Protein backbone atom coordinates (compact mmCIF):
# COMPACT_ATOMS: atom_id res chain seq x y z
CA UNK A 1 0.00 0.00 0.00
CA UNK A 2 1.43 3.38 -0.97
CA UNK A 3 2.03 6.24 1.38
CA UNK A 4 -1.14 8.22 2.02
CA UNK A 5 -0.78 11.99 2.13
CA UNK A 6 -2.18 13.01 5.50
CA UNK A 7 -3.86 16.39 5.73
CA UNK A 8 -5.25 17.59 9.01
CA UNK A 9 -7.23 20.70 8.19
CA UNK A 10 -5.01 20.92 5.07
CA UNK A 11 -1.95 21.56 7.24
CA UNK A 12 1.54 20.89 6.03
CA UNK A 13 3.87 18.80 8.17
CA UNK A 14 7.38 19.49 9.42
CA UNK A 15 9.61 16.98 11.16
CA UNK A 16 11.85 18.94 13.50
CA UNK A 17 14.56 17.39 15.65
CA UNK A 18 15.60 18.72 19.04
CA UNK A 19 12.56 20.75 20.14
CA UNK A 20 13.08 20.60 23.89
CA UNK A 21 14.84 23.97 24.05
CA UNK A 22 16.63 26.72 22.16
CA UNK A 23 16.32 27.02 18.40
CA UNK A 24 14.30 23.82 18.11
CA UNK A 25 11.64 24.89 20.58
CA UNK A 26 11.36 28.38 19.09
CA UNK A 27 11.07 26.90 15.61
CA UNK A 28 8.38 24.43 16.67
CA UNK A 29 6.39 27.29 18.19
CA UNK A 30 6.79 29.39 15.04
CA UNK A 31 5.56 26.63 12.71
CA UNK A 32 2.62 25.86 15.02
CA UNK A 33 1.65 29.53 15.13
CA UNK A 34 1.64 29.54 11.33
CA UNK A 35 -0.73 26.59 11.02
CA UNK A 36 1.64 23.68 10.53
CA UNK A 37 1.53 20.21 12.06
CA UNK A 38 4.81 19.57 13.87
CA UNK A 39 6.38 16.18 14.49
CA UNK A 40 9.01 17.09 17.05
CA UNK A 41 11.71 14.96 18.61
CA UNK A 42 13.76 15.08 21.78
CA UNK A 43 16.20 12.66 23.35
CA UNK A 44 13.65 11.82 26.08
CA UNK A 45 10.54 12.00 23.93
CA UNK A 46 9.20 14.74 26.19
CA UNK A 47 8.92 18.51 26.07
CA UNK A 48 7.25 21.27 28.05
CA UNK A 49 5.82 22.45 24.74
CA UNK A 50 2.25 21.27 24.23
CA UNK A 51 -0.12 21.86 21.31
CA UNK A 52 -2.98 20.03 19.59
CA UNK A 53 -0.97 19.96 16.35
CA UNK A 54 2.25 18.72 17.92
CA UNK A 55 3.35 15.08 18.09
CA UNK A 56 6.41 14.23 20.18
CA UNK A 57 8.73 11.33 19.40
CA UNK A 58 11.83 10.04 21.16
CA UNK A 59 15.03 10.32 19.13
CA UNK A 60 18.64 9.89 20.18
CA UNK A 61 20.78 10.51 17.11
CA UNK A 62 23.68 8.73 18.78
CA UNK A 63 21.70 5.49 18.94
CA UNK A 64 20.87 3.53 15.76
CA UNK A 65 18.00 1.66 17.44
CA UNK A 66 16.42 4.95 18.54
CA UNK A 67 16.67 6.32 15.00
CA UNK A 68 15.02 3.21 13.58
CA UNK A 69 12.23 3.34 16.18
CA UNK A 70 11.49 7.00 15.45
CA UNK A 71 11.34 6.37 11.71
CA UNK A 72 9.09 3.35 12.35
CA UNK A 73 6.65 5.56 14.27
CA UNK A 74 6.48 7.98 11.35
CA UNK A 75 6.02 5.10 8.91
CA UNK A 76 3.18 3.58 10.94
CA UNK A 77 1.29 6.87 10.97
CA UNK A 78 1.49 7.07 7.17
CA UNK A 79 2.77 10.62 7.37
CA UNK A 80 4.20 12.36 4.34
CA UNK A 81 6.77 15.00 5.21
CA UNK A 82 6.74 18.43 3.64
CA UNK A 83 9.79 19.72 5.50
CA UNK A 84 12.55 18.05 7.51
CA UNK A 85 14.64 20.33 9.73
CA UNK A 86 17.70 18.68 11.24
CA UNK A 87 18.28 20.89 14.26
CA UNK A 88 19.37 18.52 17.04
CA UNK A 89 23.08 18.39 17.81
CA UNK A 90 25.74 18.58 20.46
CA UNK A 91 28.89 20.59 21.05
CA UNK A 92 31.32 19.00 23.53
CA UNK A 93 33.10 22.31 24.04
CA UNK A 94 36.76 23.35 23.82
CA UNK A 95 39.37 20.82 22.82
CA UNK A 96 41.51 18.95 25.29
CA UNK A 97 44.92 17.70 24.24
CA UNK A 98 45.68 15.17 23.05
CA UNK A 99 42.30 15.12 21.33
CA UNK A 100 39.81 12.77 22.94
CA UNK A 101 38.86 10.12 20.38
CA UNK A 102 35.77 9.04 22.41
CA UNK A 103 34.53 12.65 22.34
CA UNK A 104 35.23 12.88 18.60
CA UNK A 105 33.33 9.65 17.97
CA UNK A 106 30.31 10.66 20.06
CA UNK A 107 30.14 14.09 18.41
CA UNK A 108 30.28 12.62 14.92
CA UNK A 109 27.64 10.02 15.83
CA UNK A 110 25.12 12.70 16.81
CA UNK A 111 25.99 15.69 14.63
CA UNK A 112 26.79 13.85 11.41
CA UNK A 113 26.33 10.07 11.20
CA UNK A 114 23.07 9.90 13.14
CA UNK A 115 21.69 12.90 11.29
CA UNK A 116 22.51 11.29 7.95
CA UNK A 117 21.05 7.96 9.06
CA UNK A 118 17.80 9.64 10.14
CA UNK A 119 17.56 11.69 6.94
CA UNK A 120 18.25 8.77 4.62
CA UNK A 121 15.58 6.65 6.31
CA UNK A 122 13.03 9.46 5.96
CA UNK A 123 13.64 10.13 2.27
CA UNK A 124 10.91 7.69 1.12
CA UNK A 125 8.38 9.75 3.09
CA UNK A 126 9.35 13.15 1.73
CA UNK A 127 6.85 15.03 -0.38
CA UNK A 128 7.94 15.31 -4.01
CA UNK A 129 8.40 19.06 -3.60
CA UNK A 130 9.64 18.90 -0.03
CA UNK A 131 12.47 20.64 1.80
CA UNK A 132 15.38 19.38 3.89
CA UNK A 133 17.11 22.02 6.01
CA UNK A 134 20.25 21.21 7.98
CA UNK A 135 21.39 23.45 10.85
CA UNK A 136 25.11 23.95 10.45
CA UNK A 137 27.65 26.46 11.73
CA UNK A 138 30.37 28.83 10.59
CA UNK A 139 32.60 26.49 12.60
CA UNK A 140 32.33 24.06 9.69
CA UNK A 141 33.64 26.54 7.12
CA UNK A 142 37.31 25.77 6.50
CA UNK A 143 38.09 29.33 5.43
CA UNK A 144 36.77 30.68 8.72
CA UNK A 145 39.85 31.48 10.77
CA UNK A 146 37.98 33.68 13.24
CA UNK A 147 37.25 30.84 15.68
CA UNK A 148 38.92 31.84 18.93
CA UNK A 149 38.02 28.62 20.77
CA UNK A 150 39.26 25.36 19.19
CA UNK A 151 36.27 23.05 18.71
CA UNK A 152 37.78 20.31 16.57
CA UNK A 153 35.13 17.52 16.88
CA UNK A 154 32.29 19.99 16.38
CA UNK A 155 34.00 21.69 13.43
CA UNK A 156 34.74 18.36 11.72
CA UNK A 157 31.10 17.29 12.14
CA UNK A 158 29.73 20.55 10.71
CA UNK A 159 32.16 20.49 7.78
CA UNK A 160 30.95 16.98 7.00
CA UNK A 161 27.33 18.12 7.29
CA UNK A 162 28.00 20.88 4.79
CA UNK A 163 29.33 18.36 2.29
CA UNK A 164 26.38 16.02 2.91
CA UNK A 165 23.98 18.90 2.24
CA UNK A 166 25.78 19.74 -1.00
CA UNK A 167 25.80 16.17 -2.31
CA UNK A 168 22.25 15.40 -1.16
CA UNK A 169 20.95 18.40 -3.07
CA UNK A 170 22.46 16.98 -6.26
CA UNK A 171 21.01 13.53 -5.59
CA UNK A 172 17.48 14.82 -5.01
CA UNK A 173 17.35 17.49 -7.71
CA UNK A 174 15.43 15.26 -10.10
CA UNK A 175 12.79 14.64 -7.41
CA UNK A 176 12.15 18.32 -6.86
CA UNK A 177 13.30 18.20 -3.23
CA UNK A 178 15.15 21.31 -2.09
CA UNK A 179 18.09 20.83 0.29
CA UNK A 180 19.65 23.71 2.20
CA UNK A 181 22.05 24.35 5.06
CA UNK A 182 21.43 27.18 7.49
CA UNK A 183 24.15 28.92 9.48
CA UNK A 184 22.16 30.65 12.24
CA UNK A 185 25.01 32.69 13.70
CA UNK A 186 25.76 33.18 17.39
CA UNK A 187 22.45 32.44 19.12
CA UNK A 188 21.37 32.93 22.73
CA UNK A 189 20.91 29.28 23.71
CA UNK A 190 22.46 26.82 26.15
CA UNK A 191 25.03 26.02 23.48
CA UNK A 192 25.56 29.59 22.32
CA UNK A 193 25.61 31.22 25.79
CA UNK A 194 23.55 34.03 27.28
CA UNK A 195 25.90 36.62 25.76
CA UNK A 196 24.96 35.80 22.16
CA UNK A 197 23.28 38.68 20.29
CA UNK A 198 20.75 36.66 18.29
CA UNK A 199 17.53 35.21 19.70
CA UNK A 200 16.23 31.72 18.86
CA UNK A 201 13.00 33.31 17.60
CA UNK A 202 14.97 35.12 14.91
CA UNK A 203 16.43 31.83 13.69
CA UNK A 204 12.96 30.26 13.77
CA UNK A 205 11.69 32.95 11.41
CA UNK A 206 14.64 32.35 9.07
CA UNK A 207 14.01 28.60 9.05
CA UNK A 208 10.34 29.15 8.26
CA UNK A 209 11.41 31.42 5.40
CA UNK A 210 13.74 28.72 4.05
CA UNK A 211 10.91 26.19 4.34
CA UNK A 212 8.33 28.24 2.50
CA UNK A 213 10.03 30.60 0.04
CA UNK A 214 11.23 29.76 -3.46
CA UNK A 215 14.94 29.17 -2.87
CA UNK A 216 17.71 27.49 -4.84
CA UNK A 217 18.82 24.07 -3.65
CA UNK A 218 22.32 23.11 -2.57
CA UNK A 219 23.42 26.27 -0.80
CA UNK A 220 24.49 27.51 2.61
CA UNK A 221 22.26 30.30 3.89
CA UNK A 222 22.91 32.98 6.50
CA UNK A 223 20.37 35.70 7.29
CA UNK A 224 18.31 34.68 4.23
CA UNK A 225 21.28 35.11 1.92
CA UNK A 226 23.48 32.55 0.19
CA UNK A 227 26.97 32.50 1.65
CA UNK A 228 30.17 30.59 0.87
CA UNK A 229 30.69 27.07 2.16
Find out whether 165 and 136 touch, Cβ atoms under 8 Å: yes
Taking residue 105's Cβ as centre, other Cβ atoms within 10 Å add up to 12
Across 152-204, the runs of DSSP E, i.e. the strands, are 178-182
Annotated catalytic residue: which of 30, 97, 154, 164?
154
Q: Please confirm, yes or no, whether 154 is among the known catalytic residues.
A: yes
Contact between residue 58 and residue 43 where contact means Cβ atoms under 8 Å apart? yes
The closest of 172, 92, 99, 96 to 134, measured between CA atoms, is 172
Nearest to 90 by CA among 73, 108, 74, 76: 108
d(CA 5, CA 26): 27
Burial 106-121 (b: 16+ CB within 10 A, else e): ebbbbbbbbbbbbbeb
Residues marked as catalytic: 154
Amino acid sequence: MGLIRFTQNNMKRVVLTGISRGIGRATAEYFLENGWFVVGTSTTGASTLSHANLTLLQLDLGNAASIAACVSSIRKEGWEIDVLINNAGINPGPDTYPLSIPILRSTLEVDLIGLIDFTEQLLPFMHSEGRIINLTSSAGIIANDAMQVPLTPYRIAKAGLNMYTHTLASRLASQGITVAACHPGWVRTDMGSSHAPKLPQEVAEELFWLATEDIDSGHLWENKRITNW
